[in-house]
Structure 1
Amino acid sequence: MLMAHPTVLRNLVERYETLRAVVDEGHADGSDRAEGADPLVRQQLQDTMYTLCVSTGTREIGAALAAARRHIDTIAAGALDADPARDVSAA
């Protein structure tokens, strides 16, 4: 399966977290979080959730976030392994 570039995924995760925080703000009483939010913010959140799911080949936001973070971490770990400047055994 094709996976989005880690930078794209990182940006989507950050955007999701920011929009989710805006929607959740002021709704600590357990009421419907999205109901009082600006419709534009709600739509941006829905669009970001959809894009994350499509980009990770998942159907639910929890699975999409987990897959995105796993892919970002895997690529980051591989980049560290491939960087000869970080190889302390070469000295």
Structure 2
Amino acid sequence: MMTHPAVLARLVEEYEVESELRAAGAHGPVRQQMEDVVYTLCVSTGTRDIDAALAVARERLRTVRFGGVGGVDDGEAAARGGRTLSGTAG
């Protein structure tokens, strides 16, 4: 089963934000959030490390945007609407 493009887009975005926070010296909850996002990206893409997970996620998103099956536009709108993986505001 493939992860919906909206979920992948949101996970990549969350990873990038967490990476910036971590680079800025944030600690504590940021570390756990980063670990959670990395784990979820790896599971969602069927990979074992973050570099591979990001590459797969970005390729799937690129494919969907440029001629793949299904549209990412609706998914991106949902992701920007503040929904988390559980579907609640977050």
In the superposition, the TM-score normalised over structure 2's length comes to 0.71
User: Which residue matches 1:12?
Assistant: 11
CA distance in 2, matches of 1:24, 1:18: 10
Q: How does 1:18-29 map to 2 (within 5 A)?
A: 18-26=17-25
What's the CA shift string for 1:29-75, capped at 9, x where partnerless?
Answer: xxxxxxxx321110000000000000000000000000000000101
How many residues of Structure 1 are paired with residues of Structure 2 in the alignment?
69
Given residue 44 of structure 1, which amino acid in structure 2 is its aligned partner? Answer: Q
User: Which residue matches 2:42?
Assistant: 53
Q: Which runs of 4+ in 1 moved over 2 A?
A: none
Q: Could you tell me which runs of 5 or more consecutive residues in structure 1 were left unpaired when the two chains were aligned.
A: 27-36, 80-91
Greater C-alpha radius of gyration: 1
In the superposition, the TM-score normalised over structure 1's length comes to 0.71
Given residue 72 of structure 1, which amino acid in structure 2 is its aligned partner? Answer: L
CA distance in 2, matches of 1:71, 1:42: 27
Aligned CA-pair RMSD: 1.6
Q: How does 1:1-91 map to 2 (within 5 A)?
A: 2-26=1-25, 37-78=26-67
